[in-house]
Amino acid sequence: MDRVAVVGAGLTRFGRRVDVGMNHMAWEAIKAALEDAGIEQKDVDFFAVGNTGVWSEEPLPAITVGEYAGLTPKGTMRVEAACATGSAAIRVAYQAIASGSARVALAVGVEKMYNSPTGAVVELIGRAGNYFWEFENFGLTFPGYYALYASAYMAKYEVKEEDLALVSVKNHYYGSFNPYAQFQKPVKLEDVMSSKYVAYPLKLLDSSPITDGAAAVVLADEESARKLTDTPVWIKSQGVASGSANLSKRQDFLGLPASVEAAAQAYRGAGITDPLKQIDVATVHDCFTIAEILAYEDLGFAKRGEGVQLIRDQQTYKDGIIPVNLDGGLKAKGHPIGATGAGMAVEAVKQLRGEAPPQRQATIRNGVALTHNVGGTGHYAYVTVYSL
Amino acid sequence: MDRVAVVGAGLTRFGRRVDVGMNHMAWEAIKAALEDAGIEQKDVDFFAVGNTGVWSEEPLPAITVGEYAGLTPKGTMRVEAACATGSAAIRVAYQAIASGSARVALAVGVEKMYNSPTGAVVELIGRAGNYFWEFENFGLTFPGYYALYASAYMAKYEVKEEDLALVSVKNHYYGSFNPYAQFQKPVKLEDVMSSKYVAYPLKLLDSSPITDGAAAVVLADEESARKLTDTPVWIKSQGVASGSANLSKRQDFLGLPASVEAAAQAYRGAGITDPLKQIDVATVHDCFTIAEILAYEDLGFAKRGEGVQLIRDQQTYKDGIIPVNLDGGLKAKGHPIGATGAGMAVEAVKQLRGEAPPQRQATIRNGVALTHNVGGTGHYAYVTVYSL
């Protein structure tokens, strides 16, 4: 298997982007990634487009994005893995190179959620659980799903709403140093606590926002990577797993089995036996504050029930034992569904290269970063390990 | 790069399948493919689900299909490449193995078009061109797009509607020997000619139908393939290309540049310099009769303007110079969008193994089969070469 490196990474500003259409937004990220890699469209052998399609203006987004970005007639496909769609796009581009089919491949994730021509965003997100059974019959929306997890975790481990809120405070703090983030203002604990309930015990400021945005990475085989850059960021491994579509079939609501499985695969592939010692910085899927705490445990940063202590002790801040979501996370950076995973990859690359603003740059000791991207409520999990 | 073989292939009956839901339909094909390979779900490392999502009951079809089929917690994603979606799913499974990430992977394509909860099929297919410009402004539907190609071809090469109709006669003839086909009755030239116009000069019997169906293939690396079967069918190469979303930007309406490019890649990869001599049997994307004739030329079976002569001379019948669509093609076998490309792979495997019914079994001399799967009107093209 050929080694594969990220040689270019680009991002749009995340937020409410009613100024441009989906294709243009994708192009902003692609352009930035191509420039970062120092290549042109003709140098790209294949591109994968991550887009859920749920909100799309166009039913063939890979084609319209490709044409707008000047990538036609390169080979392409659209991929979807719910909120892990961006990571699935990276997987396809990565394997195109690792299999020897391509030398340079591009993965772009894009989502336009505001001004959707197809319907109400919250209704459509609600369907990302189990549509025919839980959504249609019980009206369970997406915040409702994670509220079940939050309630179960709080009940079992004597955790308070204030504990969850600490995740929001951290992520908004780092978002304030990220010019690409949707929210760049810090919030106080009392702001989170006084925000309105979305689904008890989760409040507005426990929740990631509706976001427009795009992110792109250029991947290359070893020979091409060495020519293009002095700081290739290697994809060491990627784990991928799925979970039941039905929450009623989950064993408990204290973790996501798909995350545990994907992490085990990724750690095996990258030779990681002690994540706290070997990983310098992580981005995890904090679609709600509870999700970040569950991720600490699912990824082995803490034992079951002890993830909350990491945030209480500020151990997932920049100078803690395992810095998490120094870009603001889904919570403050934003969560443009199909782009989120690709945005995580961009952050991993910037951190490993030491290019983040000093207020949110992790100390890179081992040269290893991790991204954890969940689709649905653990329907999908993609865990990727990057290294210098 | 590891060699990759198809070791199992399965299909549902194509047609109007209002008796079952999408997940069950996918399972019928997966079950048949697993049994054909002699393996169980636990032996599958990764699965890719091809589904356009446009008509879906569930917004996360890869998850619900996987769970219904007992594949959870295996890694997965959904892929989409319009009518070439099934081939895109095969590409992802193929590269998962070729990259060394998986030893055994499954690709399934599935589409449920009847009883769609999301809207009128013809309107939704119409959007597979260029939604915002051509569809919204000119009302150009899908048959309308191909009618432009048919008109241009007829005008330039003095071709009659009767010539196009010959493709329908051939494909319905072979459909009559295919128990999985949607239409199993032969049609006469006068039947095609007297069928009503859908978009001049294309008539109802020039057009592929609305179809429900699923198809699946099990792929394996060389070591696993040798253990599992005595008749592995190797994926020799796959070409993939994209084309402009706008028909108004196409240079002419006499061929699909994406097909030409994808074929060139596939031929290069498989060492094919003389397709008529080296390929034993082909399935091509005959969504309309004109599309099959264009495919003859785009794939190098005939020079420009001479494709029509192949069908006039019955050279694409079973005993002709290059047998095409001996399963009935999209025209008679049916065209369940996301499943079509996977169904082509199943046909290639059955032909190479000599397992087709004698009335429609090609003579296998070189042990080479080709599949040609188009998305949109040349928005996507996937060309795959299989060999014994």
CA torsion B60→B64→B65→B66, rounded to 10°?
110
Domains of chain A: 4-118+210-228 (3.40.47.10)
Out of B76, B99, B257, closest to residue A98 by CB: B99
How do the pLDDT tens digits run along chain B, 388 residues long? 569 999 999 999 999 998 999 999 999 999 999 999 999 999 999 999 999 877 666 788 999 999 999 999 999 999 999 999 999 999 999 999 999 999 999 999 999 988 766 656 666 666 555 655 565 555 667 888 899 999 999 999 999 999 999 999 999 999 999 999 999 999 999 999 999 999 999 999 999 999 999 999 999 999 999 999 999 999 999 999 999 988 888 889 999 999 999 999 999 999 999 999 999 999 999 999 999 999 999 999 999 999 999 999 999 999 999 999 999 999 999 999 999 999 999 999 999 999 999 999 999 999 999 999 999 889 999 999 999 9
pLDDT in tens, A332-374: 999 999 999 999 999 999 999 999 999 999 999 999 999 999 9
CA B46 to chain centre: 22
Which residues from B are below 8 Å from A127, CB to CB? 58-59
B16: how many CB neighbours lie within 10 A of its CB?
Answer: 16
Q: Select the residue of B72, B79, B257 nearest A78 (Cβ to Cβ).
A: B79
DSSP B131: I
Q: Contacts of residue A57 in chain B, CB cutoff 8 Å?
A: 131-132
Q: Which chain B residues touch A376 with a CB distance below 8 Å?
A: 60, 63
Of B58, B95, B376, the CB nearest to A60: B376
**What stretches in chain A show pLDDT beneath 50?**
none
Are the beta carbons of A244 and B74 separated by less than 8 Å?
no
Q: What is the pLDDT of residues B183-205, one digit of tens each?
A: 999 999 999 999 999 999 999 99
> Measuring CA to CA, which residue among A46, A47, A73, A71 is closest to residue B250?
A73
Whether the complex's predicted ipTM surpasses the cut of 0.90: yes
Q: Is B155 exposed, middle or buried (0-12, 13-18, 19+ CB in 10 A)?
A: exposed
Look at residue A333 and give its three-state secondary structure.
Answer: helix
pLDDT of residue A245: 84
- Cα A169 from Cα A187, distance rounded (Å): 6
A106 CB neighbours in chain B (<8 A) are none
Residue in chain A lying closest to B71 (CA): A242
CA atoms within a 13 Å half-sphere pointing along the CA-CB vector of B65? 34
The alpha-carbon gap from A30 to the nearest alpha carbon of chain B, in Å, equals 17
Longest dimension (CA), chain B: 57
Q: B81 vs A79: CB contact, 8 Å cut-off?
A: no
Rg of chain B taking only CA atoms, in angstroms:
19
* C-alpha–C-alpha distance, residues B26 and B112, integer Å: 10
Could you tell me which chain A residue has the CA closest to the CA of B379?
A63
Flag if B132 and A375 touch (Cβ within 8 Å).
no
Q: Closest Cα of chain B to A128: distance in Å?
A: 6
Residue B105 and residue B90: Cα distance in Å, rounded?
A: 9
**Nearest CA-CA distance, residue B144 and chain A, Å:** 18
A263: chain B residues, CB-CB within 8 Å: none
Q: For B375, name the nearest residue in chain A, comparing CA atoms only.
A: A60
Instruction: Give me Rg for the CA atoms of chain A.
Output: 19
What's the pLDDT at A128? 57
Choose among A53, A88, A244: nearest Cβ to B72.
A244
Catalytic residues of A: 83, 335
- Tokens representing B377 are 């009107």
Residue A172: Cβ-neighbour burial (10 angstroms; 0-12, 13-18, 19+): buried
Q: Token match 């319905």: residue?
A: B172
Mutate to test the interface with B, among A56, A77, A135 (most CBs of B within 10 A): A77
Closest residue, chain B, to A134 (C-alpha): B58
Query: Which residues of B does the annotation mark as catalytic?
Result: 83, 335
Which residues in chain A have Cβ-Cβ distances shorter than 8 Å to B59? 52, 54, 82, 124, 127-128, 131
Burial per residue of A51-71, b for 16 or more beta-carbon CB atoms within 10 angstroms, e otherwise: bbbbbbbbbbbbbbbbbbbeb
Residues of A in contact with B79 (CB under 8 A): 77-80, 92
Per the CB < 8 Å rule, is A73 touching B242?
Answer: yes
Nearest to B261 among A73, A246, A257 (CB): A73
Confidence (pTM):
0.96
